[in-house]
Structure 1
Amino acid sequence: MKVRLVLTSMAVSALTLSACSNDEVRAPETSAAAAPTALVGRDAVYAAAREGPEPFVRALYAQYVNGGPQGEPPAPGRDPIYDRMLNAMIGEDFRKAGGEVPTLNHDPICACQDSGDFAVESVTVLPGADARKADVAVVFSNMGETKRQTLKLVKEGPMWKVNDVLAPGEKPLTEQLMAAIS
């Protein structure tokens, strides 16, 4: 058991380091003076990620309320809304799939492949949040189905990012990915 824990820790460390390469995709820099007053889509998410956990999560889900994320999504493992560790796992899951369907074959934020008639019912920062970590509970409906999940967030540099996605009755996203890439 100890050997497996050490090997898993080493694999996660290696993936973390690979995600920190110099060619890493970063969210666009924005400044309050230059930013337009009505940001939408990913620009709104990146701006809100600098404000705090609740504004960041609200901006993430606002994309689905407004018809879903627009434009071409970042390459697997290069999405600025996820922290380095989760990006490394997503990228490795995609690479290991080798052109087949990866373990993560849906959008973990909306817990869906398609969205429609999307509504956010509540966003709650859970007790225990601090300057670098926060858990945010979200209740939303998509195509008539109510879903609950908790986003575990971490602050990397000036931006809040998703570290894990927890849904009742399911293993955490990081555990699912680790099982697939180990």
Structure 2
Amino acid sequence: MRSLMMVSVAAIGLAACSQGEDAKAPDGDAAASASASSSQAGAASPTGPVSRDQIYAAAGEGPEVFVRTIYAQYVNGGPQGEQPAPGQDPIFSRIMNALIGADFRAANGDVPTLDYDPFCACQDQGDFAITALAVAQSAPNAAEANVAFTNLGEAKTLKLKLVREGINWKVDDIIDGETSVHDELMKVAEAAA
């Protein structure tokens, strides 16, 4: 129990230092956040190749726009450009970034636990199509997205847990059936403590 608390405190501490620019307080109140989320119900996905900058910009527009933009990159040919170093991706929450970074360091040159793309739960991506996408905002700083898609002919459904840090939405967990990326990475962090 004590080691779990120490790992959690360490992860939060590392995360708090990692992305200082997101530390701004969110604008508006709970009512404004809820109405903004409901007005995005028909949000369109970007067409054509999607850059990381487009995803980062969408993070400030609301949870549905953010998730649609993340998945638009897969529909439109896959992630573009150089990907951030493990544990330094502005798409993820501070805690997830701390856990991803710890997983990468714990692997010490071997294959980390997170050795696949969690947004498609795959190693390879192609012939990708979204079949359903629904986002529900449960609180001013929390939302959940359910994304159903096909990738290389295989149907998948993932649940994304989202948090708002500062003015931007971040992915705090990705759940594939019963498997939580956050929980799997936390086990690695606990074992390394």
Same fold (TM over 0.5): yes
Q: Which amino acid aligns with 2:186?
A: M
Residues 1:162 and 2:159 aligned together: no
1:39 Cα deviation from its structure 2 partner = 8.7
Counterpart for residue 35 of structure 1:
none
Range that drifts further, 78-87 or 109-118: 109-118
Moved over 2 A (4+): 19-22, 24-27
| Equivalent of residue 131 in structure 2, options 111, 114, 121 | 121
Q: Any conservation in 1 of the 2:49–2:76 contact (CA below 8 Å)?
A: no
Alignment of 1:3-22 (within 5 A): 4=1, 6-21=2-17
Counterpart for residue 57 of structure 2:
47
1:25 Cα deviation from its structure 2 partner = 8.2
TM-score by length of 1: 0.85
Q: Any conservation in 2 of the 1:93–1:103 contact (CA below 8 Å)?
A: yes
Counterpart for residue 56 of structure 1:
66
1:9 Cα deviation from its structure 2 partner = 2.3
Percentage identity across paired residues of the two chains? 50
2:138 match: secondary structure: coil
Counterpart for residue 157 of structure 2:
148
| Equivalent of residue 109 in structure 2, options 99, 106, 114 | 99
Counterpart for residue 88 of structure 2:
78
Cα distance in 2, alignment partners of residues 113 and 134 from structure 1: 27
TM-score by length of 2: 0.80
Structure 2 residues not aligned, in runs of 5+: 23-47
Cα distance in 2, alignment partners of residues 25 and 76 from structure 1: 17
Cα distance in 1, alignment partners of residues 73 and 14 from structure 2: 29
Q: Any conservation in 2 of the 1:26–1:80 contact (CA below 8 Å)?
A: no
1:21 match: secondary structure: helix
Q: Which amino acid aligns with 2:101?
A: G
**Greater helix content:** 2
Cα deviation digits, residues 2-54 of structure 1 (max 9, x gap):
xx2x32122111122112326x4868xxxxxxxxxx99321211111111111
2:155 match: secondary structure: strand
Q: What is the RMSD of the two structures over their aligned residues, measured on CA atoms?
A: 1.9
